[in-house]
């Protein structure tokens, strides 16, 4: 079973982020840390405005650009992935190795599984090259039904 976004994952993810930032001489500031913790703490992908809401205290609203800057930092260091079709973010399980994520998004339960494929990346680069195109961002997302929801559906379908 792939690891889902549990508390255990969140704790591990924060430790990984600390280690990566330390090794790269990047600063995991309290705001960057708080945004990352919120992303790992959510059950589903987090939207920027939800993060702004969740991080704001009564009488102390967090300014959107503060959160967007933190998100840019986390993206740049591969600690999170942007889900283009949902305009949301999820934590990455293996940020140590640079990779392009392939996201499998379940439309029923909202679960998102991450995979990566060197051969697909090579193919996309070849296709872009043939068109004389210089990609600045790659996003591969599949929408559908996860294996858990498929099992549930199979179990409850009328005979
Ligand atoms: Zn990843
Ligand atoms: Zn599902």
Residue 103 phi/psi, 5-degree rounding, is -105, 125
pLDDT at 1: 40
Any idea where the domains of the chain sit in the sequence?
Answer: 7-156
Rounded to whole angstroms, the maximal C-alpha distance in the chain is 60
Class of domain 7-156: mainly alpha
Beginning with the edge strand found earlier in the chain, give each strand of the sheet holding 102-106 in spatial order: 112-115, 102-106, 140-144
CB of 72 closer than 8 Å to CB of 128 = no
The mean per-residue pLDDT over the stretch 91-116 comes to: 92
Entry pTM? 0.86
Cα(156) to centroid(ligand 1), Å: 33
CA gap 103, 40 in Å, rounded: 16
Percent of the chain at pLDDT above 90? 77
51-92: pLDDT as tens digits: 999 999 999 899 999 999 999 999 999 999 999 999 999 999
Cα(78) to centroid(ligand 1), Å: 7
- Considering every ligand atom shown, identify the ligand nearest to the alpha carbon of residue 108 and give its number: 2
- Considering every ligand atom shown, identify the ligand nearest to the alpha carbon of residue 99 and give its number: 1
| Helices 30-41 and 7-24: angle between axes, nearest 10 degrees | 150
CA gap 157, 159 in Å, rounded: 6
Cα(150) to centroid(ligand 2), Å: 7
- Considering every ligand atom shown, identify the ligand nearest to the alpha carbon of residue 105 and give its number: 2
CA atoms within 13 A on the CB side of 73: 22
């Amino acid at each position: 079973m792939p690891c889902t976004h549990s508390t255990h994952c969140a704790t591990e993810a924060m430790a990984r982020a600390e280690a990566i930032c330390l090794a790269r001489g990047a600063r995991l500031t309290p705001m960057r840390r708080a945004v990352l913790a919120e992303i790992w703490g959510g059950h589903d992908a987090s939207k920027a405005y939800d993060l702004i809401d969740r991080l704001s205290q009564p009488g102390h609203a967090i300014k959107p650009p503060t959160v967007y800057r933190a998100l840019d930092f986390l993206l740049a260091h591969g600690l999170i992935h942007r889900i283009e079709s949902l305009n949301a973010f999820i934590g990455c399980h293996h940020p140590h190795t640079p990779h392009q994520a392939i996201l499998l998004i379940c439309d029923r339960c909202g679960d998102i599984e991450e995979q990566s494929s060197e051969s697909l990346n090579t193919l996309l680069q070849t296709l872009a090259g043939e068109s004389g195109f210089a990609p600045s961002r790659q996003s591969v997302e599949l929408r559908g039904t996860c294996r858990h929801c498929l099992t549930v559906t199979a179990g409850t379908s009328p005979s």
